[in-house]
Amino acid sequence: MFALTSLSGCASPDVVKQQNDNSPLNATYVIDSRKIALVNGFSEMPAAPESSTTITTEVWGTPEYADLNGDGKDDAALILIHSTGGSGTFYYVVAAIWREDGYQGTSAVFLGDRIEVRNIAINNNRITVALLDRKNRDSFSTPPSVASTQLVIYDANANQLVQVARDFEGEADPARMTLPMKSWFWVKTSYNDGSVHTPANPEVFSLTFQSDGKLLVTTDCNNMRGNYRVIDNLVNIEQIMSTRMYCEDAQEQLFAKMLQNVSSYFFTSRGQLVLELKYNSGSMIFQ
């Protein structure tokens, strides 16, 4: 692992020129609603007005280049190391989309605190980060040793990264998991009669439970919106509305019917969300 050389102090003419160059190292990204403008892969700013504590952000390794949005131009995926002045060192993945006037950065997806990144790879619009993490019961003084991968998808319409799955070879902690913690992608639905439905395109069927009780749904045809209510482990999904595009051979209606029959939920130690269907008829699995 290495980081690009940090730049500090007043910007020289060479640095100003480099900042204007069309490079992912000179783009602006968003971490926790804060805009981070990199100059040659580095940013330093005060944590608060007149504060002596600084927030630093720098690029891990080098950007990985590939066409994320299908326009024939090379975009990039990067790992950012973000230090806020405390004991934590936070790692994020971001994308930089090629534009004529400069790369446009996305909001960041959190990877972990004091982890060890091993590799980043792009396949079409899918970005996979291989890393080492800790088991939930391990302290931060324990060196990361558990292999894990984080998959995110670049959504060209929204110009954002969508967190898909964390393949973790240790154990997740269901007690710390929540519905709004991420976007959930449909893996399969198993019915008690032995039948199983799986998505033909798993990356397009997602649920995003917003903290205000709104539910955002994407499918292989239309986008949907609805509401949800939670009492203990019971969940009621209601008032689902959809755009009206027709798509031949779409699984959208099947998926929507399943959602209308959801009655409860729980999380697994593999980091999955299970939505149980009414009358104990089956369950939907999300990652």
- The DSSP code sequence of 162-193 is EEEEEEESS---GGG--GGGS-EEEEEEEETT
3-state secondary structure of 17: helix
Are the beta carbons of 95 and 72 closer than 8 angstroms? no
pLDDT of residue 96: 98
3-state secondary structure of 264: strand
- What pTM does this model have? 0.58
Mean of pLDDT values over 222-244 = 90
User: What's the number of CA atoms in the CB half-sphere (13 Å) around residue 93?
Assistant: 30
Are the beta carbons of 224 and 241 closer than 8 angstroms? yes
Name the residue with higher pLDDT: 103 or 171: 103
Domains of the chain: 13-171 (no CATH), 184-286 (2.40.128.270)
Q: What is the pLDDT of residues 61-109, one digit of tens each?
A: 999 999 999 999 999 999 999 999 888 899 999 999 999 999 999 999 9
User: What's the number of CA atoms in the CB half-sphere (13 Å) around residue 258?
Assistant: 26
Q: What is the pLDDT of residues 25-50, one digit of tens each?
A: 999 999 988 999 999 999 999 988 88
Are the beta carbons of 29 and 107 closer than 8 angstroms? yes
Give the closest residue to 206 by CA, choosing from 243, 164, 235, 159: 164
